[in-house]
Copies of this chain bind each other. A is one copy, B any other.
Amino acid sequence: MNLKIGVIKGDGIGPEIVTEAMKVLDKVAKRYGHNIEYRQLLMGGASIDVHGVPLTDETVAEAKSCDAVLMGSIGGNTSTSPWYKLEPSKRPEAGLLRIRKELNLFANLRPAILYDELKGACPLKEEITEGGFDLMIMRELTGGLYFGERKTEEVDGVMTAFDSLTYNENEIRRIAKRAFDIAMKRRKKVTSVDKANVLDSSRLWRKVVEEVAKDYPEVTLEHMLVDNSAMQLVKDPKQFDVILTENMFGDILSDEASMITGSIGMLASASLNETKFGLYEPSGGSAPDIAGQGIANPIATILSAAMMLRFSFDLDKEADAIEASVAKVLKDGYRTIDIMSEGKTQIGTARMGDEIAANI
């Protein structure tokens, strides 16, 4: 098979971790007889440095011509990096938001899994996490506060800022369907998170989600307020299967969910549109403080590449092979510093990539 993959190395640890994911993909290609064509795409700070903007029209077109995009991470230190002296629409993150919108990547999937081998790093007590947990956040990614109109202006001499939060029934329906589809392949439960006791957008959200639920009689639907959800994630993460929510709530809850696993360096994510196309990236950030040191954990990016093979190319066997290799490497006791614990073997970014590639 011919795979045309766009590669956004991005900023901070991005280039290091993406290099390892490509190493693993190359091994998969060799072993299973595929042909990969990579297209390097500049985005974020890396694009600002070259083009003065975080994403060019050419890069958008180039990304659209690919079958899928693998991304590292975007952004730098907001206090010290010169990128953050630019106006908001020119900063690194604006590139990420624009590509989500341009490619219509409305469905963001972020799994939060407690790996048995890494329980030690989980901040929650063992009585709460016993038996592990495995939840999937389905976050709407191209609507809501992120893409509403905004402005800052003087009103009667007082500086005033406005943001707006809009959702229409079609936007809600398509993401809800995705959540129920995924739930059907999992434990058949959807928890839809909103703030329906305050927001009109949440009340419409709830109504449309209930309509969609009728087409999935086997799936249990539950509604939960966002404030309660932030509590329940800490109190009893095992109660969740698929969490369906809008863009801003999803941003907050998916980060909370990844932190309660204790090993964010292990968590992949996918941003999908209506077709097979997707952008795949690790859940963690660009970690500028450790960039260039060769110590970042590449596993989340490698698992994102596995997600890409599965979702965008239907290469399940190949994705399984990557995931099995990651499991074996952990079992063999190899750890990057972020997941290191007593008695294990600490290795760097490149060596972790080597070990995972070697098993494939």
Contacts and interface: CB of A to CB of B under 8 A. Distances in A.
Given A125-B124, A259-B234, A161 B201 contact: yes
B226 A123 contact: no
Interface in A225-261: 226-228, 230-231, 233-235, 248-249, 251-256, 258-260
A330 interface: no
Nearest to A165: B163
B200 A227 contact: no
Contacts of A145: 165, 198-199
A168 B165 CA distance: 18
Contact of A162 (B78, B201, B251): B201
Copies in the complex: 2
A252 B226 contact: yes
Contacts of A88: 197, 203
Contacts of A1: none
A86 to B, nearest CB: 12
B163 A200 contact: yes
Contacts of A249: 252
Contacts of A168: 155, 158-161
Given A161-B167, A165-B145, A252 B230 contact: yes
A275 interface: no
Given A123-B128, A123-B235, A155-B168, A200 B258 contact: no
A93 interface: yes
B166 A165 contact: no
A122 B145 CA distance: 34
Interface of A: 75, 78, 88, 91, 93, 97, 122-125, 128, 145-146, 150-152, 155, 158-170, 195-201, 203-205, 223, 226-228, 230-231, 233-235, 248-249, 251-256, 258-260, 264
11 contacts: A123-B234, A158-B169, A160-B167, A161-B168, A161-B203, A163-B165, A163-B166, A195-B251, A227-B251, A228-B255, A231-B264
